[in-house]
Structure 1
Amino acid sequence: MIVGVPKEIKDYENRVALTPRSVALLTSSGIKIVIEHDAGAKSGFSDMDYASAGAQIVNDAAELYSEADLIVKVKEIQVNKNEHLFVSPRHIIFGYNHFESSLQLTQAAVHSKARFISFEKVIIDATGETPLLMPMSKIAGTLAGVWAGFFYNYAFKHDKSLRMKSGADQIKSKFMDGFERIMQDGKVDGSLAIDLSLQDKSAIIFGGGTVGESAAKVCHSLGAKLIIIEKREGRRKYLQQLGLTRCSIVPTADYDMIKASSAIIGATYDKEKADRVIDEKTLKNASDVRKKVIIDVSIDQGGNFPFIDSTGKYAPESMSTIMSPAQIDFFGNTFVRVPNMPSIVPRYASTALANAITEYVKAIVANLPKQELVRATSIADGKILDNAVARAHGLPYAKAF
């Protein structure tokens, strides 16, 4: 089985699925790897780096898909760019698929008759951990906390558009350059903490999983008064043991909490569609009292909050980008809805992802019956094997096990 790594073509996606180090580990095990030309360029990895690690470099996606059997990629097949036309029944596609979010993508995958194994659905049965989702969740949560402070301090509304204050670019460069240290420490400190300060401001985090925990640690280091909304009792007990001062951990939010908040982060994810945790009326009324920075980390799965654009239209498809992450909603809030947040730090994110998936790539090539990979198979042979995907689109479900 030949493994292929294509260049990501989703807009603003800068990551690559395998780094040269991971390729070297795989090729040393006798696995043949083909890499599309410039697949790692946006993450800082050259074709020469991959060739030195033992990979073969191919010219384009057509050549890569024709040679490779197992396609290892970051983001879902881009139907709007005809990437699905390269996929044939012999292929295994291993990546973040998020089929629940798109009927068009799901139908294309079914029609291809290929096998799609979803990173986000790989779950360790004994612990419930999601080892391929967790590294990106930590990055997204940390970035959400940083962005809460950044946009609270540097964004402002001008007419119906969002503007940034003088010095914002320098602060952005500062936290991006120091992002690895922020990840390691779980906090922002020094002069950057002053620049991003949320001192005595109320921040609500919906969801106390990996994303919420990482965001909470950063917001705590910026001085925020925290409220974490977490339904699971066991997880609430765990979060209480973190020792975050001025932090309430509760199962539900009430209107007074939302009204008083300056920053709100949405980080709930139930392996299907994201929970809608605030409705439009509540958001409107709470925004009339205080404008907010709202960061919807769960946007890949439909989002936790309604987005009403500046014209007053409900606009669930209106996404931000890592180049321009924030928008102003109809109520005057600063809204961040970026579906690939870790791409803002692509080298760090690519390394973390590749480290997590390398052993799974080996297992697929060796045809090892790892149950978490079997359960993570969303679509195969023209059938939907994931009931959550079938329910999301009202399509037939073929039980796999």
Structure 2
Amino acid sequence: MIVGIPREIKVREYRVAMTPAGVRALTESGHDIVVECGVGSGSGLEDREYLEAGARTVEGAAEVYAQADLIVKVKEPLPAEYGLLRSGQCLFTYLHLATNTALTSVLLQNRITALAYETVQLHDGSLPLLQPMSEVAGRMAVQIGAHFLQKEQGGKGVLLAGAPGVRPGRVVVLGAGTGGSNAVRIAVGMGADVTVLDIEPSRLALLDEHYGNRIHTLISNSQNIEDEVRHADLVVGAVLIPGARAPHLVTEDLVKQMEPGSVIVDLAVDQGGCVETVRPTTHDEPVRTVHGVLHYGVPNIPGAVSRTSTFALTNSTLAYIRKIADLGVSNALACDAALAKGLNTRDGQIHNRKVASALGLAFSPVTCADSDQG
């Protein structure tokens, strides 16, 4: 199979979909890998390394898309890339289609087989391809929040660790999944006063067992959210429903009750955000101030630590990419139930129920004819 890896064009997106070591693993299996020149420069990876791993380099993304059967990316295609997609091609990347009608329409019109990293799901409910980036984003969220709490950044001038005789900053984490638990880890390490809320008692129990009285755990309901958020210095939104639009747990009215200079970092912005007033921002202009509260809504947070993120992503995605390349898309979907859950569109139809529901479009269950899943 010809696997294509184009450069990412999202603002300040420095990650690349595969390391040279990943390319080598595929070429050793007999596959042809074509990469765009400079593909890994943002992660400190040179074209020479890709060539030595067995890849071919081409000038421009158009050549990659024209040659490849399977396109592997980090972030979803942007409008400038829509015209490069070929009918019948397979695309494997973070898609987040529940909030992207335009891209969904392109995928359907071009009959693209689109597999989303974020909806590949194991039998235990875990998301193996979202997990590494959620870990990175969760850890960065508290660092980012601490930065913007500084007075010179527009924040209220609070040090999360506090000082002798001065109480530490209050951090509220909404969601105790991968992103949320990693945010808790960093916030505790900084010495903050940490409260985490989740609807699953079992998740809270795990954190309580690990951190003991160094954190507060609460069941997530509207009353507890209101009580905690209005007094928070930093709110980290880490709520995820795979494939679906995130629920608005923090309303605009609640944001109005927060103290001016408080900070919100919403990790769920890719799925619409769990804070009503959050909108997507960029690394160039990462913060919007709404009702005196700083809102950080950068969708590609891990892109800022691109080298770490690129290696972590390849570690997780390579086995699935290799399976698709070795077996072909249909056979790979048929023999791997987790990968099959990653199927979002194929042959002009939406095969993810939550994406279809979020966009108000028809859902088509996967049949044997679609992908031999039975």
Do both share a fold (TM > 0.5)? yes
Does the 8 A contact of 1:17 with 1:72 survive in 2?
yes
CA shift, 1:224, in A, is 1.1
Distance 2:60 2:153 in 1: 43
1:396 corresponds in structure 2 to 362
Does the 8 A contact of 2:88 with 2:347 survive in 1?
no
1:297 aligns with 2:264: no
1:282 corresponds in structure 2 to 254
1:200 corresponds in structure 2 to 168
Structure 2, unaligned runs of 5 or more? 368-374
Amino acid paired to 1:222: M
**Where in structure 2 are the equivalents of 1:86-165 lying within 5 Å?**
86-125=84-123, 127-157=124-154
Distance 1:46 1:154 in 2: 40
1:29 corresponds in structure 2 to 29
Does the 8 A contact of 2:74 with 2:93 survive in 1?
yes
Distance 1:326 1:102 in 2: 22
Which stretch shifts more, 130-139 or 371-380? 371-380
Amino acid paired to 2:87: P
Distance 2:233 2:132 in 1: 27
CA shift, 1:85, in A, is 1.2
Does the 8 A contact of 1:217 with 1:244 survive in 2?
no
1:381 aligns with 2:347: yes
Does the 8 A contact of 1:146 with 1:196 survive in 2?
no
CA shift, 1:373, in A, is 1.4
Does the 8 A contact of 2:160 with 2:170 survive in 1?
no
1:313 corresponds in structure 2 to none
CA shift, 1:76, in A, is 0.7
2:236 aligned to which of 258, 262, 265: 265
Once the two structures are superposed, what CA deviation does each residue of 1:161-211 show, in whole Å capped at 9, x if it has no partner?
x8x99xxxxxxxxxxxxxxxxxxxxxxxxxxxx976355221110000010
Distance 1:27 1:155 in 2: 50
1:256 aligns with 2:253: no
Distance 1:149 1:245 in 2: 22
CA shift, 1:243, in A, is 1.7
Amino acid paired to 2:231: A
Secondary structure at the aligned position of 2:257 is classed as helix
Question: What is the aligned length?
Answer: 353
Distance 2:126 2:151 in 1: 36
Does the 8 A contact of 1:267 with 1:297 survive in 2?
yes
**Where in structure 2 are the equivalents of 1:1-400 lying within 5 Å?**
1-79=1-79, 81=80, 83-125=81-123, 127-157=124-154, 197-198=161-162, 200-252=168-220, 253-271=224-242, 272-287=244-259, 291-307=261-277, 318-329=279-290, 331-367=291-327, 368=332, 369-400=335-366
CA shift, 1:351, in A, is 0.7
Does the 8 A contact of 2:4 with 2:71 survive in 1?
yes
**TM-score normalised by the chain length of structure 1:** 0.84
CA distance 1:65–1:206, shift in 2 (3 Å): same
Does the 8 A contact of 2:345 with 2:352 survive in 1?
yes
Runs of 4+ aligned residues of structure 1 deviating over 6 Å after TM superposition are: none
Secondary structure at the aligned position of 1:388 is classed as helix
CA shift, 1:102, in A, is 0.8
Amino acid paired to 1:223: G
**TM-score normalised by the chain length of structure 2:** 0.90
Does the 8 A contact of 1:384 with 1:396 survive in 2?
yes
Distance 1:359 1:87 in 2: 24
CA shift, 1:156, in A, is 4.2
CA shift, 1:227, in A, is 0.9
CA shift, 1:327, in A, is 2.7
Amino acid paired to 2:366: A
Secondary structure at the aligned position of 1:334 is classed as strand
Structure 1, unaligned runs of 5 or more? 166-193, 308-315
Once the two structures are superposed, what CA deviation does each residue of 1:276-315 show, in whole Å capped at 9, x if it has no partner?
111111211233xx541111111000011122xxxxxxxx
**What's the Cα RMSD here?**
1.9
CA shift, 1:350, in A, is 0.6
Does the 8 A contact of 2:10 with 2:75 survive in 1?
yes
Distance 1:156 1:219 in 2: 19
Amino acid paired to 1:3: V
